[in-house]
Structure 1
Amino acid sequence: MSTPTTTAPVASTSTLSASEAEALKASVFQRLHPRIYYERFLAERVRPDGRDFDAWRDVAVNVGSISTADGSSLVRLGDTTIVCGVKAEIAQPELDSPNEGFIVPNVDLPAICSSKFKPGPPTEEAQVLSDRLNEVLTAHDVLPTSSLVIHPGKAVWVLYIDATCINYDGNAFDATLIAMVAALKSTRLPRARYNEDTGKTICSRHDRVPLTLNNLPVALSFGVFNNDVLMSDLTSFEEPLMDTSVTVVLGQDGGVLSVTQAGMGGGDTLVESCIASASKRRSFLAEYIYE
């Protein structure tokens, strides 16, 4: 006699409510035809997350969340979440730069933050982000390395500024720069002195001093879709659909520190439009960056 067999129920759209079935169809269509999906939203003058073209996502900044670090921050830009810690160590300066310490910014985009990243060594995107952030922090003298000298030629501070993305939903550069600046602002270093007789550096456990920071920068990024539609603060879904990307870095006084552009779309007035929009946004971010 044969034994009856049972089969597990197979999910189908017939077992879903009408709204769930529509949501499933939209999700499948979005994955298969992302550009057409996006264009249909833009035809209604709205983005998939409900924002206007020039709207930015909410920002939240918390500092001091890592008790073992010398400075730290947690930043949320929409659903993109960055945690940053600053760790200070004492080292000898370079022979040709006896009056300069070191800053070492680094960004990690682990597999846990997004399915687009795989386990293993740092991705190219993470390395590019680290290089860009290092350029912003060093080229504009945000933290003068001369202020990290304990004793010329003998002892200096090395600041490791490590940012890790714990949830990725686009615009990691803007979010990480906010996180690094906030972490540096919260950093307190032990007061240190170099003893020439013993050749050792002595640090005070209880006497800590803040860093010397100048012209704190903020980055505002944009994308151009179909070479004519300007978007602010891109999500991870939007980023690969853009033909052109622009990042404006503004200083504490509102002056333009740098503008980077990848792609040639957007017309002759693209950079001017981005700078104008970035300046408006900077005034909103001031309370998170400068206070």
Structure 2
Amino acid sequence: MVSANVSGDLSSEMEVDAFRRLFPLRYHERFLLDSIRPDARPLGRARDTSLALGAVASADGSALAKIGCTTMLAAVKMEVMTPPKESPDEGSIAIEFYMPPICSPLVRPGRPAEEAPVVSKQLSDTILRHVNVVTSLSHGTITNADFTKAVVPYWASVLKAIWDDLMVPNDSGFCCPIISLRLFSGMINLKELSLVSGKAAWMAYLDIYCLDADGSLFDAALLAAVAAFSHSHTQMIYNETVNLPLRPGSIVRIPVVSLNEEGRVVVVSEENEEGKSEKEPVNKGKRKLTLSSLPFSLTCILHKNYILADPTAEEESIMETLVTVVLDSSGQLVSLYKPGGPVLAYASAVQDCIALTRQRVKELKSILNEAISDMEVD
């Protein structure tokens, strides 16, 4: 009798697995009827999220972020560079996103993953100061007054509903089939990375590696990037002449700098090879860099009348309409990204996605603050 029950259970499991593989959309839709998902999550709940700072000892800032099984490792390396003549008072940030074959069976050795450049571009647009969006309808700025005239009627009806409540009259754009609105001045003001005008500035290399790709790649990558910069600290630079003003209220730390007798910015450690201080540094206390705003994101799937927050890779592969909302830590809209797919079924869908993102931002802020507190205790 026992063996018969075991055989029956195994047979049932095999039938369910076969049905899931042969008819994945129908399989998921059966769960949606009960407002639940195969992993037992409610439709609007994100997966368990964890964050660990200082994952790479050799980096100036690093973080390991996990959202469900999706895992991202971000590392920041700071170097002194000579700024270009076009922007002598600005530093620079170089962002690279990697998807090695270890992250997914869909990524083959020797062949770059299709999603990698897309996520990399989204990260650059969010972290850096990209406020003007290229638009196929207008090369100028779209203001609140002419917003409805600049976009096609359908998108006007969808987006005008959230325009007055969620957007400040500023730069915005429309590009078919991708809609992208950006109202953000960037997480880091590049001018604060300047050391000596025209002579030296910080170059921050942000490398993000996807260790496991199980959906919501941009959300996990952005969380890892924000956490890595929150953990960042820069090397000591000192000299006798120039003293940059202290900017309070931030986490990323940069030094006070000046020129040496040879006109160079010198990067040194507090101790030389003999273990003695080479000279008394001006910046014994590391000064801080202002993070103007911390962006957090949530990707949602829109399927019929359902909205699924934080989709897995399987859900993303069978449901076409994705919407990624990025908000800053105060809940203000940073960007809205919809990469093609069918049109939205109802005008309130965007508002519902933004409402879910606001809840998610509170969770992510708490997770980040807890990770920073743990680092301070250690």
Partner of 2:128: 138
Q: State the SS of the aligned residue for 2:207.
A: strand
Gap runs ≥5 in structure 2: 130-184, 238-256, 271-283, 373-378
Residues 1-291 of structure 1: matches in 2 within 5 Å?
17-139=7-129, 140-192=185-237, 193=257, 195=259, 197-206=261-270, 208-225=286-303, 227-262=304-339, 263=341, 264-289=343-368
- Write the deviation string for residues 10-35 of structure 1: whole angstroms up to 9, x where unpaired: xxxx9x84333333332233222211
1:200 maps to a residue whose letter is R
Q: Distance in 1 between matches of 2:70 and 2:105?
A: 14
Contact 1:188–1:211 (Cα < 8 Å) also in 2: no
Contact 2:329–2:361 (Cα < 8 Å) also in 1: no
Q: How far apart are 1:197 and its partner, in Å? A: 4.2
Q: State the SS of the aligned residue for 1:128.
A: helix
2:109 maps to a residue whose letter is P
1:287 maps to a residue whose letter is S
Q: CA RMSD in A?
A: 2.0
- Write the deviation string for residues 31-59 of structure 1: whole angstroms up to 9, x where unpaired: 22211221222233321111111111111
Q: Distance in 2 between matches of 1:80 and 1:106?
A: 18
Q: Distance in 2 between matches of 1:249 and 1:87?
A: 25
Q: Distance in 1 between matches of 2:103 and 2:7?
A: 31
Question: Structure 1 residues 199 and 30 mapped into 2: Cα distance closer, same or farther (>3 Å)?
Answer: farther
Q: Distance in 2 between matches of 1:266 and 1:59?
A: 30
Question: Structure 1 residues 34 and 96 mapped into 2: Cα distance closer, same or farther (>3 Å)?
Answer: same
Identity of paired residues, percent? Answer: 33
The structure with the largest strand share of the pair is 1
Partner of 2:172: none
TM-score by length of 2: 0.69
Task: Give the stretch that moved more between structures: 72-81 or 185-194.
Answer: 185-194
Question: Structure 1 residues 56 and 211 mapped into 2: Cα distance closer, same or farther (>3 Å)?
Answer: same
Q: Distance in 1 between matches of 2:44 and 2:215?
A: 16
Partner of 1:6: none
Q: Distance in 2 between matches of 1:159 and 1:19?
A: 55
Q: How far apart are 1:101 and its partner, in Å? A: 0.8
Q: Distance in 2 between matches of 1:216 and 1:288?
A: 13
Higher relative contact order (Cα pairs below 8 Å, separated by 6+ residues): 2
Gap runs ≥5 in structure 1: 1-13
Q: How far apart are 1:229 and its partner, in Å? A: 1.2
1:195 maps to a residue whose letter is L
Question: Structure 1 residues 141 and 31 mapped into 2: Cα distance closer, same or farther (>3 Å)?
Answer: same
- Write the deviation string for residues 167-212 of structure 1: whole angstroms up to 9, x where unpaired: 1110011111110000001000013245364243212424555433
- Write the deviation string for residues 135-177 of structure 1: whole angstroms up to 9, x where unpaired: 0011332111111112111111111111111111100111111
